[in-house]
Copies of this chain bind each other. A is one copy, B any other.
Amino acid sequence: MTTYNAPVEEMMFLFNNLKDNKNYNEIEKFKEINSDLVKDILDQAAKINQEIVHPLAKIGDENPCIYENGIVRSPPGYKEAYTKFINDGWTSLSCDPKYGGQGMPKTVSTFFEEMLSSASLSFKLYSELSIGAYNCILHHADEKIKNKFLPKIVEGKWSGTMCLTESQCGTDLGLIKTKATKQEDGSFLLTGQKIFITSGDHDLTENIIHLVLAKIPGGPSGTKGISLFLVPKFNVNDDSTIGSRNGVNTLSIESKMGIKGSPTCVLNFDNAKGFLIGEENKGLSSMFTMMNLERIIVGIQGLGIAETAYQNSLAYAKERKQGKSNNNKDNQTDFIIKHADIRRSLLNMKSIIEGQRSLAFWLSQQVDVSLNHPEKKIRESADELVSLMTPVIKSFFTDMGTEITNEAIQVFGGYGYTKDQGIEQLYRDNRITPIYEGTNSVQAIDLVFRKVLNNKILSKFIKLIKDEIKDDNNKIELKRFSKILEQNLFLLLEFTKWLEDKNKNNKDDVSSACNDFLKVLGYISLGYSWFKTTKISLEKIKENKEFYEEKINTAKYFFDKIFPRIESHYQSAKSGSYSIMNAKFN
């Protein structure tokens, strides 16, 4: 079985050194969230994730959820752990104190999301969509619904789901068939079937609050006629006590490659009572409040799983002896961490993971600004950067999760393929992340067509990087990094220009380049993060030589070894789509 130690030192390094967003630092209510407090929270978080949550990963894999007589049972030990989890207040971490939350910023809660993903993705998913439901209700529901539902969700006694997918539509929600018929009292009755509903049913919470996309008969066709409804598993009385069972039933749960401790449900809505959230036919955009924050969290899942894969590979490499390294002196068998190729593999994981954590921390500040800054213009500006980077974090982090868990298996050799070590489970568990909340290709299309071609957010991001490079205070040692970053920024600009040109006369060229573009932007964003880390490390090197030297070394690896991938994506993309569209596939 795997082990997990929360990287609190790494997280505190970011919080202490890279909380560099001026606008974030202006947010009044976060000024009291100081380093000591955060350290204390992260230590507590580490404790529960290492001791209580992590052991559930293997348990859930070996004892998947069970569906029997219409009831879904979670794996052994999940209920007890969940009770402790909510009693300790972890579901409320980032929620509004008005509803019982602790009001922590994303800068802090994102660290927690990572730890929980590292510890057990299956267990995490029981509460994850609750936060999505919380956000959706908070931003779009009326006061009555907020007061009725939010406190219980924040407390963790009720959980939430997102019900979008139907068997005929995942990506293309315009094809939704679930119907919502308005009743005299203003409520709706929903009928239809939803599939792939994460935590759609289970025995951990007293009630489950489904947020459901459905069509009101007579509305516009396609995505313009979709409305959003809150449909509880049990009806809720006005005093927030639980009433009768609503018309939502679980037909089955999926048998999956991984995240076996998390139930993925087929839900049947049969005249289920629901309440409209937001305006009629504007459901999709309300749902996207939930989806977008959720997508960032899915990216963090990829990061979290990769961290566990890395930690275990490193530990194994330090204890497994095999062969003699090039620098072997005593003619004794070496630990495999002495072998250059194994080191390369470990540094590959490390440099990507640490770069991602830093990028996620940067993005968390932007999210906090977008939600909390007093000035609307600043909020909007931050929100643009968030919308640009959301598909990147979602896709890039989860694809890297695939790469890293794959590499971890190789470090373990034959032992990586057996169940005992738990490494193969990370590979399987992570594999859902490039799929759900919109496949990675859909993210790439969203990035290119909606974020890059339709407006100028990208230039704003590029300017941030350029300012960083051109900073007059930069040390001379930064030159080797800034040079590489600058060259690749130039390539990014060229690539963007190519997309703009092609968008005018050959959309297929653009469509088939989206994945490559997302990768390029992903690598460059990580390069930006590594550049900032290196800068700080050079400044502070005397304070903790060992720590900061290792940072600079890892940055070198990233710039030398990972950055060359960028060029190949660009070259491949700009060859266009001729052969792609010309293929017959007979």
Chain A contacts with B in 464-514, Cβ cutoff 8 A:
507-508, 511-512, 514
Given A341-B445, A417-B431, A572-B565, A586-B410 contact (CB < 8 Å): no
Task: Give the number of times this chain occurs in the complex, counting copies.
Answer: 2
Interface check A383, CB cutoff 8 A: no
* CB <8 Å contact, B406 and A402: yes
Interface check A224, CB cutoff 8 A: no
Which listed residue, B175, B264, B550, B582, touches A333 by the CB 8 Å rule? B175
Interface string of A162-199 (1 = CB under 8 A from B): 00010011111011000000000000000000011000
Residue of B nearest to A348 (CB): B580
The interface stretch among A91-99, A277-285, A368-376, A556-564 is A556-564
Chain A contacts with B in 496-554, Cβ cutoff 8 A:
507-508, 511-512, 514-515, 546, 549-550, 553-554
The interface stretch among A43-51, A205-213, A288-296, A322-330 is A322-330
CA distance A473 to B465 in the complex (A): 53
* CB <8 Å contact, B441 and A416: no
* CB <8 Å contact, A582 and B553: yes
* CB <8 Å contact, A439 and B417: no
CB A286 to nearest CB in B, in angstroms, measures 21
Given A175-B333, A428-B257, A556-B579, A322-B420 contact (CB < 8 Å): no
Residue of B nearest to A438 (CB): B413
CA distance A514 to B340 in the complex (A): 10
Size category of the A interface is 35 or more
Interface check A462, CB cutoff 8 A: no
Interface check A25, CB cutoff 8 A: no
* CB <8 Å contact, B439 and A413: yes
Residue of B nearest to A445 (CB): B341
Interface check A84, CB cutoff 8 A: no
A-to-B contact residues, CB < 8 Å: 165, 168-172, 174-175, 195-196, 254-258, 264, 314, 318, 321-323, 326-327, 333, 337, 339-347, 350, 402, 406, 409-410, 413-414, 416-420, 424, 427-428, 431-432, 434-436, 439-441, 444-445, 507-508, 511-512, 514-515, 546, 549-550, 553-554, 556-557, 560-562, 564-569, 571-572, 575-586
A170-B413, A257-B427 are known contacts; what are 11 more A-B pairs with Cβ within 8 Å?
A172-B321, A172-B323, A254-B418, A254-B419, A314-B585, A344-B580, A347-B580, A413-B439, A553-B584, A556-B579, A564-B569
